[in-house]
């Protein structure tokens, strides 16, 4: 950008000054050059000023008339002339070029940056008789560029290196440590109850706490160690030349002690903050950046679970259930971004005709190391951490896309059932997400069925009823999942605008042998029909169960007897040969 500006300036000056004919008069020429937003001067072969425009007066405090005939070294400071003289000689040798130089001026003295364009002037015989010097103040541009460069690797609030810079530093340190067979440690620090502080004292107080935390951490670590802000209220420490894990623990203890003094948050408010820290040591806890950071995170969460205001070391017991759970939580946070979630589908079969009339979308996690994980391995973690909300949104979107592809393949009229968790049901974006799914799938709203559990709707029944009314206004179907496992099932069916009731598999399991389960299942079917609901039985695995449900007038079933949950391609192939398969299932 600066080169383009200088090029335009050079061309303009060439038009104004460099052409021997026609030329404006001297007074007109001075008026034009005085209006140029830069300092313009002509310096002869003896390094004397022969011309200067009015902009020099603002910089040097000298009128152009006071500069004429004077040597450059007598006008500018000795230090600045020592820098300029080689450039003037270079231009007098016939070269056109531009340079950037730093100067100090003003009271109090401030550093400024100038861009200077040198253009030799030739006489009629082609000899260099002097050089034009066009000087522009580019301090603002230089400052902006430096700030952009700084922020690319630093956090704006604390001025600490950011996550990417920290990871790069750890990678370099790992290379050095591997060559020297040395040790290093990574510590992840998280402020305890930071969200509470933000909500009670405000974000300004939270920012001041983070700034104070950054300053104390820098004071507490050793000279060669690195402090960074990894994001939010999470800080990272890179400790070089660590002897072993106990040595890293000693440093962590010293850091925590430095943070226990109250922080001044402004307005006379002092706050006692505590932190939890997790330590991972190279090489025993990991040999690459991602592994060390992940294991330090796991250790930090263990410190929080142990009561906060402490540190924990990752150690070698990676197979401990708590460690595995924490590691799964950290990995689940990136599963969506890493495209690791997949959908499997289980058909729902009409009992009267024996034909599939719908499918239920079931999420799976294609873990890069552990393989395909069922929801039993991660749904509880997702519920506890709130990750179930983005996961649920992902399932909705991809279930709609699958329905669209099935319809394009000629498999029309199917109902797509999607489970909605309690957290997702309370999310204010749910209705918009369902509306977007319907639009993307290009289907009739009645082809979308949302399954909610009794516990999801009975926790806040008034809010749940309002959400259901909004969903029903879209035209979708609502199903009560796991019916009979709660304490207010009948009340829920009467209060909420349900279309479908699903009998929980725990009742279906023994209906052919247990009179109580048979009686309960029979009652649920009758009650559902009396309320005008469609009844679906889950977990049907045996022909005897199927025959019982058919005799009692159940509407649909799903279970291993017909098909296990399967990927989309297998589902499309199965639905394409439905008549043959349904005969086998019903036999």
For residue 552, is pLDDT > 80?
yes
Tokens read off for 434: 């369902």
Give the containing element (helix H, strand E) for 429: none
Higher pLDDT, 265 or 49: 49
Average pLDDT over residues 36-44: 86
Query: What is the spatial order of strands in the sheet that 49-52 belongs to?
Result: 49-52, 39-44, 128-137, 110-122, 97-105
The DSSP symbol for 514 reads -
* Domain containing residue 298: CATH number: 3.30.70.270
- 505: CATH: 3.20.20.450
Please indicate, yes or no, if residue 327 is contained in any of the structural domains.
no
Domain assignment of residue 37, given as a range: 2-144
Q: How many domains does the chain have?
A: 3
84 versus 2: which is more confidently predicted?
84
Q: Pick the last residue of a domain from 289, 319, 349.
A: 319
Residue 275 lies in a domain: yes
Mean pLDDT, residues 141-160 taken together: 80
Distance from C-alpha of 57 to C-alpha of 169, rounded to nearest angstrom: 48
Between the alpha carbon of residue 66 and those of residues 27, 46, 78, 130, the distances in Å are 18, 17, 18, 19
Both 138 and 106 in one domain: the answer is yes
Of 390, 447, 389, the C-alpha closest to 417 is 447
- Indicate whether 158 and 251 sit together in one domain: yes
Task: List b or e across 291-322, with b for residues whose CB sees 16 or more CB atoms inside 10 angstroms.
Answer: ebbbbbbbbbbbbbeeeebbbbbbbeeeeeee
Same domain, 187 and 263: yes
> Are 276 and 310 a contacting pair, CB within 8 Å?
yes
The share of the chain scoring above pLDDT 90, in percent, equals 37
Q: At what angle do helices 289-305 and 163-180 cross, to 10 degrees?
A: 110
Residues 358-365, mean pLDDT to the nearest whole number: 95
Tens-digit pLDDT profile for residues 231-283 = 889 999 999 888 888 888 889 988 888 888 888 887 777 788 888 999 999 98
Backbone φ, ψ for residue 415 (5° rounding):
-100, 130
pLDDT tens sequence across 464-474? 888 999 999 99
- Residue 485 banded pLDDT, cuts 50, 70, 90: low
The verdict on 88 and 201 lying in the same domain is no
Output the pLDDT for position 305.
74
How far are the Cα atoms of 160, 199, 267, 273, 295 from residue 196, in angstroms, in the given order?
Answer: 24, 5, 19, 11, 26
Domain's final residue, options 122, 144, 166? 144
Q: How confident is the model at residue 441 (pLDDT cuts 50, 70, 90)?
A: confident
Q: Does residue 312 have a pLDDT over 80?
A: yes
Q: Tell me the range of 132-141, 321-330, 420-429, 540-549 where mean pLDDT is highest.
A: 540-549
| Predicted pLDDT of residue 109 | 53
Average pLDDT of the segment spanning 2-7: 50
Instruction: Please indicate, yes or no, whether residues 138 and 159 belong to a single structural domain of this protein.
Output: no
Token pair, residue 472, equals: 């029903």
Strands 448-453 and 415-419: parallel
**Phi-psi sector, 244: left (phi>0), alpha (psi -120 to 50), beta:** beta
Instruction: Please check whether residues 50 and 128 belong to one and the same domain.
Output: yes
Domain boundary among the residues 79, 110, 144 is at 144
Let me know whether 509 and 370 are in one domain.
yes
CA 82 to chain centre: 51
- At residue 286, the 3 state secondary structure works out as coil
- pLDDT confidence bin for 26, thresholds 50/70/90: low
């Amino acid at each position: 950008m600066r080169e383009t500006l200088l090029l335009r300036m050079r061309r303009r000056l060439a038009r104004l000054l460099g052409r021997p004919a026609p030329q404006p008069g001297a007074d007109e020429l001075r008026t034009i050059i005085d209006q140029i937003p830069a300092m313009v001067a002509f310096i002869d072969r003896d390094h004397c000023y022969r011309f200067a425009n009015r902009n020099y007066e603002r910089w040097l405090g000298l009128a152009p008339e006071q500069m004429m005939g004077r040597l450059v070294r007598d006008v500018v400071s000795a230090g600045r002339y020592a820098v300029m003289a080689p450039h003037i000689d270079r231009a007098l040798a016939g070269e056109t070029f531009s340079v950037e130089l730093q100067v100090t001026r003003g009271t109090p003295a401030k550093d400024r940056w100038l861009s200077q364009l040198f253009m030799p002037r030739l006489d009629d015989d082609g000899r260099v008789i002097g050089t034009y010097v066009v000087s522009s103040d580019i301090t603002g541009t230089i400052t902006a560029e430096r700030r952009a460069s700084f922020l690319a690797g630093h956090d704006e609030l604390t001025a600490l290196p950011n996550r990417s810079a920290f990871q790069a530093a750890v990678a370099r340190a790992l290379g050095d440590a591997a060559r020297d067979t040395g040790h290093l440690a990574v510590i992840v620090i998280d402020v305890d109850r930071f969200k509470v502080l933000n909500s009670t004292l405000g974000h300004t107080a939270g920012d001041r706490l983070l700034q104070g935390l950054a300053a104390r951490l820098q004071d507490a670590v050793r000279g060669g160690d690195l402090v960074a802000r990894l994001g939010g209220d999470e800080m990272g420490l890179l400790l070089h030349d660590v002897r072993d894990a106990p040595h890293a623990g000693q440093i962590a203890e010293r850091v925590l002690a430095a943070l226990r003094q109250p922080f001044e948050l402004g307005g006379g408010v002092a706050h006692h903050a505590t932190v939890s820290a997790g330590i991972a040591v190279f090489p025993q806890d990991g040999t690459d950046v991602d592994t060390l950071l992940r294991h330090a995170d796991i250790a930090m969460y263990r410190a929080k679970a142990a009561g906060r205001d402490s540190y924990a070391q990752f150690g070698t017991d990676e197979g401990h259930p708590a460690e595995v759970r924490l590691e799964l939580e950290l990995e689940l946070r990136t599963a969506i971004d890493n495209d690791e979630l997949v959908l499997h589908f289980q058909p729902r079969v009409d009992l009267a005709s024996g034909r599939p009339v719908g499918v239920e979308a079931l999420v799976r996690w294609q873990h890069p190391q552990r393989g395909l994980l069922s929801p039993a391995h991660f749904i509880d973690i997702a519920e506890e951490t709130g990750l179930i909300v983005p996961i649920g949104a992902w399932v909705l979107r991809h279930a709609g896309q699958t329905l669209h592809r099935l319809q394009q393949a000629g498999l029309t009229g199917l109902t797509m059932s999607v489970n909605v968790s309690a957290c997702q049901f309370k999310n204010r974006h749910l209705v918009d997400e369902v509306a977007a799914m319907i639009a993307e799938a290009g289907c009739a709203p009645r082809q979308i069925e949302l399954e909610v559990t009794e516990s999801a709707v009975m926790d806040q029944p008034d809010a749940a009823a309002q959400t259901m009314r909004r969903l029903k206004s879209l035209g979708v179907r609502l199903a009560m999942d796991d019916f009979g496992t709660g304490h207010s099932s009948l009340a829920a069916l009467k209060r909420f605008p349900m279309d479908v009731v699903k009998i929980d598999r725990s009742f279906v399991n023994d209906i052919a042998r247990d009179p109580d389960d048979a009686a309960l299942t029979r009652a649920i079917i009758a009650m559902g029909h009396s309320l005008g609901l469609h009844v679906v039985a889950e977990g049907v695995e045996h022909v005897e169960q199927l025959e019982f449900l058919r005799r009692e007038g159940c509407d649909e079933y799903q279970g291993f007897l017909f098909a296990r949950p399967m990927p989309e391609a297998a589902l499309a192939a199965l639905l394409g040969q439905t008549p043959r398969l349904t005969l086998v299932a019903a036999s």
